Structure 1
Amino acid sequence: MGKPTGFMEFPRELGADRKPELRILDWNEFHEHLTEEELANQGARCMDCGIPFCHTGTTLAGMASGCPINNLIPEWNDHVYHGRWQDAIESLHKTNNFPEFTGRVCPAPCEGSCVLGIHEPAVTIKNIENSIIDHAFDQGWVVANPPKVRTGKKVAVIGSGPAGLSAAAQLNSAGHSVTVYERADRIGGLLMYGIPNMKLEKWIVQRRVDLLADEGVEFVTNTSIGVDIKADQLMKDFDAVVICTGATKPRDLPIPGRDLKGVHFAMEYLTANTQSLLESGLENTHYQNSPVENFINAEGKKVVVIGGGDTGTDCLGTAMRQKCESLINLEIVPQPPAERAANNPWPQWPKIFRVDYGHEEAAAVFGKDPRLFQMSTVEFTGDEQGNLTGLTICEVDWSKPVENGPPFSVVPGSEKVLECDLVFLALGFLGPEHLISEQLNLETDARSNFKAEHEQYTTNIEGVFAAGDCRRGQSLIVWAINEGRGAARECDRYLMGATELP
């Protein structure tokens, strides 16, 4: 709980970020760090709140409320306040296999349901979590811990994102021989290629992958299950299979001009950029002579990002570092309020207006926030060579839904044309790809996800489990870790008849 009166004595404080004008000159993480004394003060703010909603991990109004992996937040806040850093990392690792990832890229639903947040700024839970694991690595406390006994059972994990890696870590700790298959050239899934380097440096991902390898997990890259290895062959070679392929089918925008050169899915852009960075040794000028064939260069281009959320913001930050000429972000939803609305009470996730790093960087360079709210894209326009030259947008009114149609209507006379050379579609994801499910005859649900009950993770095929975004749909990293751990528990139960995995 920290210090009983700490929340009255210490204001919320985060480490300062590097100035936007400077951080866009490189691809490094831009958050500065607090001192141990400052962190102790932040840990002291954790109240004796009676019921710590921060680690409840429930879903309210369709969104996470509290930590889905049930992190023991008050416990490790208290350890940090008292300077017990080794106890803090032990508490953190009880529930979270990868706090160095969640401490950087999780949106922190825990803070949205912090009891102190009812009337004061919430405890800096995410920052403290990140500081605990970074301190533990610095002190050499995080080391490989291979299982003492092997069960003789073999498990294949398909996909190496946070769900796949957490499932592999847990199953390996139970003594099973785990092989993780990844179709990309590097392990990590979206941790490696979906999240830009300035948000999660890739050596941090590789450090944890190397630890898992030292513990006995086998990693196989450049291997697409269903293509390079048929799914039924995998069933013959292993005692169980855990599918963690993610929700990788992007939502498209099928309007006139969609096939023009210059219109791309966001993940095409982000993946190729990170791969190019890694292949060129993180050179700041990699975009001038990229070693990646499908690399997309925004240098000197007028860029429009359609869609918000983390993926849209990451496109903004990437285009800024590539020195785009201009940058606009279109969102079809209304601008959120500055404070919680009456229909969005605590402990729901607060749907409020936020300025993320990409917005801040664009505003610093171009003089204003790049977002235009309540805008719908009508058409992409191009030249005779098939190159994108612009797009037509119109304003929408959410107070006037169309009968038997969309929940908004077009504002008459609001159409206008924006010049642009590049458009990135960050409209979310529709579900998993289905080659594996077709080969195995896996059942799917109404949203095309692999059908498996939460907390059970068993599909209609014996010995095949599904977890993460491929089961629940596009979601948060903490839900992926929750499901990977849960699928490992149920897989272990299937293999051994009982389980001691949490």
Structure 2
Amino acid sequence: MGKPTGFIDYQRQTRPERDPVTRTNDWDVYTLPLDEKVLKQQGARCMDCGIPTCHTGTILNEMTSGCPVNHLIPEWNDLVFQGQWQEALKREHRMNNFPEFTGMACPAPCEGACVLGINEPPVAIRSIELEIIEKGFKEGWVKPEPPEIRTDKKVAIVGSGPAGLACGAQLNKAGHKVTVFERHDRVGGLLTYGIPEMKLPYAVVERRVNLLKAEGITFVTNTVVGNDYPISTLQTEFDAVVLCGGATKHRDLQVDGRELKGIHYAMDFLHANTKSLLDSNLENGDYISAKDKDVIVIGGGDTGTDCLATSIRHKCKSLTQFDIYEKKGDTRADDNPWPQWPVIHRVEYGQKEAAAVFGEDPRAYAVMTKKFVGDENGQVKEVHTINVETTMDENGRRVRKEIPGTEKVWPAQLVLLAIGFTGPEQSFLQKLDVETDERSNVKAEYGKYKTNIKGVFAAGDMRRGQSLIVWAINEGREAARECDKYLMGETKLP
């Protein structure tokens, strides 16, 4: 690579963050750009490691290791170090249609698999990735590239999240006429309404969507396929269909008091907030407000963190995040070796903000919700919990044991359930007569993406279950390749 001693000469530096208190007063991106000198140094830290594991995504111990889109990471790290930004942009776009999305919202499994990360802080891959594409847009290097030749084939894509957008982009490059259906009023799926503005602004999504439109893709919004748009029309008007509707069936928490007012799914909370923010800067009041409330977020993942950050910006009274697991260590455990994803204690942007505003990390560990209690008006007022110990049984299944004497009552007027999804919504799939697997996902083999219905393919969370943005892009691209092969008998798509 560019500088053999770069990993020795320079320390890891990621995008700096704005002051955690100040930024809670607005919805602007919470990070700041790195200057070009620092970026070159970060690129120089990429080692000549012989067999780089950062760019090949795989599943190790049920977690993602490396980049599922096989990003050419060592190549564009070196190009940044050399100052060859346009070539770096070309290499970045070669394997990833949307590096701005992954650069802002991917947990970076590439960094977890970085060889340097065995005994030093890994290369700041995600920060470099984001700065390459942002420089590309700033300099005007990212332009619409419509196909020179069009086929007579028409493809419908159901769902405009990262899988649907990636699939559409690739099929459009192959010359097919692509129509993407989205049930909401804005394109982007969970990119738009599942990730808050300070983490992934809609302007960034819209910028890319406008490029795709200029390249010839048609987007149809406010349309639920199977209701507003008949299944029969879908199958007669298009030569192929790719299902990219995501895994949007919420995982619920079945405990006493669940029916009380003030208990919401996290995604409903985030969706309503973003829509109101984009429609009226929250002035229409058409969202679930956390203002002056004791807020409990149940779930320790990224969506829970997004709920923290959103609630703080609403000016909540107090904020607590329940994590069912015990607090993790600061370094890898012996049974979590490199290049597995490092299961370590992390403090994300929402926790940093909560600590700055309220004086302490908002998380409570090894906590299980037992019941919700309401007032005389049916509004939640308390969450009752107990601490648990999680172990694995002889079959590898998690077993949770309640710890007597750890019962606790928490005040709460707003409870947000951020415990994931159980699969895609079934009504549409049933209307299409698509087979599903034992987890209720669309049954389609990875790498082939064919469903039991001729000419119908599936990709992303709708096929694999709840997963990462980068896996959705991977599957969207690969499903496009298989769809193109079905339509034309051969394909040149990667």
- After TM superposition, the score normalised by the length of structure 1 is 0.97
1:480 to 472, 475, 490: 472
* Structure 1 residue aligned with 2:387: 395
- Map Cα deviations across residues 112-154 of structure 1 (whole Å, 9 max, x no partner): 0000000110000000000000000000000000011110100
Which residues in structure 2 correspond to 1:369-408 (within 5 Å)? Answer: 369-399=361-391, 407-408=399-400
Q: d(CA) in 1 for partners of 2:353 and 2:261?
A: 27
- Map Cα deviations across residues 263-290 of structure 1 (whole Å, 9 max, x no partner): 000011000000000001xx3xx2xx43
* Structure 1 residue aligned with 2:299: 307
Q: d(CA) in 2 for partners of 1:437 and 1:182?
A: 16
Find out whether 1:345 has 2:343 as its counterpart: no
2:357 aligned counterpart, secondary structure: helix
Q: Which amino acid aligns with 1:495?
A: L
Q: d(CA) in 1 for partners of 2:392 and 2:219?
A: 53
Q: Which amino acid aligns with 1:455?
A: G
Q: d(CA) in 1 for partners of 2:15 and 2:216?
A: 37
* Structure 2 residue aligned with 1:290: 284
Q: Which amino acid aligns with 1:361?
A: E
User: Could you say what the CA RMSD is over the residues aligned between the two structures, in angstroms?
Assistant: 1.4
For residue 230 of structure 1, report the CA deviation from its aligned partner: 2.1
* Structure 1 residue aligned with 2:416: 424
* Structure 2 residue aligned with 1:119: 119
Are 2:196 and 2:270, in contact at CA under 8 Å, matched by a contact in 1? yes
Q: Which amino acid aligns with 2:439?
A: R
Are 2:392 and 2:398, in contact at CA under 8 Å, matched by a contact in 1? no
Q: Which amino acid aligns with 2:143?
A: V
- Map Cα deviations across residues 324-343 of structure 1 (whole Å, 9 max, x no partner): 00000001111111100000
Q: d(CA) in 2 for partners of 1:230 and 1:483?
A: 26
2:21 aligned counterpart, secondary structure: helix
Are 1:232 and 1:439, in contact at CA under 8 Å, matched by a contact in 2? no
**Structure 1's 99 and 403: CA in aligned 2 closer, same or farther, altered over 3 A?**
closer
Find out whether 1:225 has 2:219 as its counterpart: no
Q: d(CA) in 2 for partners of 1:427 and 1:16?
A: 29
Are 2:390 and 2:398, in contact at CA under 8 Å, matched by a contact in 1? no
Q: Which amino acid aligns with 1:290?
A: N
* Structure 2 residue aligned with 1:50: 50
Which residues in structure 2 correspond to 1:109-188 (within 5 Å)? Answer: 109-188=109-188
Q: Which amino acid aligns with 1:407?
A: V
Q: d(CA) in 2 for partners of 1:394 and 1:176?
A: 56
Moved more, 130-139 or 394-403: 394-403
Are 1:305 and 1:426, in contact at CA under 8 Å, matched by a contact in 2? yes
- Map Cα deviations across residues 363-405 of structure 1 (whole Å, 9 max, x no partner): 1111110000100000000011101101100010225979999
Are 1:400 and 1:409, in contact at CA under 8 Å, matched by a contact in 2? no
* Structure 1 residue aligned with 2:319: 327
Q: Which amino acid aligns with 1:262?
A: G
Aligned residues: 494
For structure 2, list consecutive stretches of 5 or more residues without a partner in the other structure.
Answer: none
Q: d(CA) in 1 for partners of 2:476 and 2:366?
A: 37
2:27 aligned counterpart, secondary structure: coil
Q: Which amino acid aligns with 1:129?
A: E
For residue 13 of structure 1, report the CA deviation from its aligned partner: 1.0
For residue 226 of structure 1, report the CA deviation from its aligned partner: 1.1
* Structure 2 residue aligned with 1:213: 213
Are 2:244 and 2:460, in contact at CA under 8 Å, matched by a contact in 1? yes
1:94 aligned counterpart, secondary structure: helix
1:129 aligned counterpart, secondary structure: helix
Moved more, 148-157 or 28-37: 28-37
Q: Which amino acid aligns with 2:94?
A: K
For residue 59 of structure 1, report the CA deviation from its aligned partner: 1.1
Are 1:247 and 1:432, in contact at CA under 8 Å, matched by a contact in 2? yes
Q: d(CA) in 1 for partners of 2:16 and 2:240?
A: 47
* Structure 2 residue aligned with 1:367: 359
Find out whether 1:457 has 2:449 as its counterpart: yes
**Structure 1's 117 and 402: CA in aligned 2 closer, same or farther, altered over 3 A?**
closer
1:199 aligned counterpart, secondary structure: coil
* Structure 1 residue aligned with 2:271: 271
Q: d(CA) in 2 for partners of 1:464 and 1:338?
A: 46
Q: d(CA) in 1 for partners of 2:272 and 2:414?
A: 15
Q: How many percent of aligned residue pairs carry the same amino acid?
A: 58
Q: d(CA) in 1 for partners of 2:246 and 2:328?
A: 29
Q: Which amino acid aligns with 1:114?
A: C
Q: d(CA) in 2 for partners of 1:404 and 1:133?
A: 42
Q: Which amino acid aligns with 1:99?
A: P
Are 1:397 and 1:411, in contact at CA under 8 Å, matched by a contact in 2? yes
**Structure 1's 451 and 402: CA in aligned 2 closer, same or farther, altered over 3 A?**
closer
